[in-house]
Amino acid sequence: MGMKNLSFLAVLSLLALTLPLAIASDPSPLQDFCVGVNTPSDGVFVNGKFCKDPKLVTVDDFFMAGLQNARPVANVVGSNVTAVNVNNLPGLNTLGISLVRIDYGVNGQNPPHTHPRATEILYVGLGKLLVGFVTSNGDGNRLFTKTLNEGDVFVFPEGLICYELTYY
């Protein structure tokens, strides 16, 4: 085999070894923000909502009040979820985050659910919770569970089945 062929083979081998190491991530946003609106006359369609004209955006598009108020928990699951998402805080549109306040009664629960496009972070403000999630990769669907106390924080990875329930 000639020197030229060996050089070509060496370069080809090096490329074959390095290509699987490519790193991927979500693309950077195309704009600073995309305040969500429902009407096409107000902007450009992005991520399920129309973007409000940036010249019409105000600080109130990034603000929501009232999350400090507890909600009634007299229902079948013993909890009440107050969601903060693009529908009541339009500035969240395209940011890939949302927030909830969950009020729990005795034996209250947030039944198993998923967040297919976002990670969930839970903060315990009062009481004690048993929380967990189930993996979905080839490790046999492992259960990760933990008892949380006041002031604790727990993260649920994106897209995994998770749950919370009061623990007394």
- For residues 86-109, b (16+ Cβ closer than 10 Å) or e, as one string? beebbbbbbeeebeebbbbeeebb
Q: Is 5 annotated as a binding residue?
A: no
Query: Per-residue confidence of the chain (168 residues) as pLDDT tens digits?
Result: 566 666 767 666 665 666 565 566 667 777 788 898 887 775 666 666 788 888 899 999 999 999 899 999 999 999 999 989 889 999 998 887 878 889 999 999 999 999 887 788 899 989 999 999 999 887 789 999 999 999 999 999 989 999 999 976
CATH of domain 71-166: 2.60.120.10
Q: Is 150 annotated as a binding residue?
A: no
Q: Is 120 annotated as a binding residue?
A: yes
In the chain, domain spans: 71-166
How far apart are the C-alpha atoms of 103 and 122, rounded to whole Å?
A: 12
> What is the pLDDT, as a whole number, of residue 167?
75
Beta-carbon contacts of residue 141 (< 8 Å; ≥ 6 apart): 134, 135
How far apart are the C-alpha atoms of 27 and 102, rounded to whole Å?
A: 32
> What is the pLDDT, as a whole number, of residue 1?
59
User: Does the predicted TM-score (pTM) go above 0.85?
Assistant: no
> What is the pLDDT, as a whole number, of residue 103?
92
CB contact at 8 A, 111 and 161: no
How far apart are the C-alpha atoms of 23 and 14, rounded to whole Å?
A: 17
Q: Is 113 annotated as a binding residue?
A: yes
Q: What are phi and psi of 94, to 5 degrees?
A: 70, 5
> What is the pLDDT, as a whole number, of residue 20?
60
> What is the pLDDT, as a whole number, of residue 17?
65
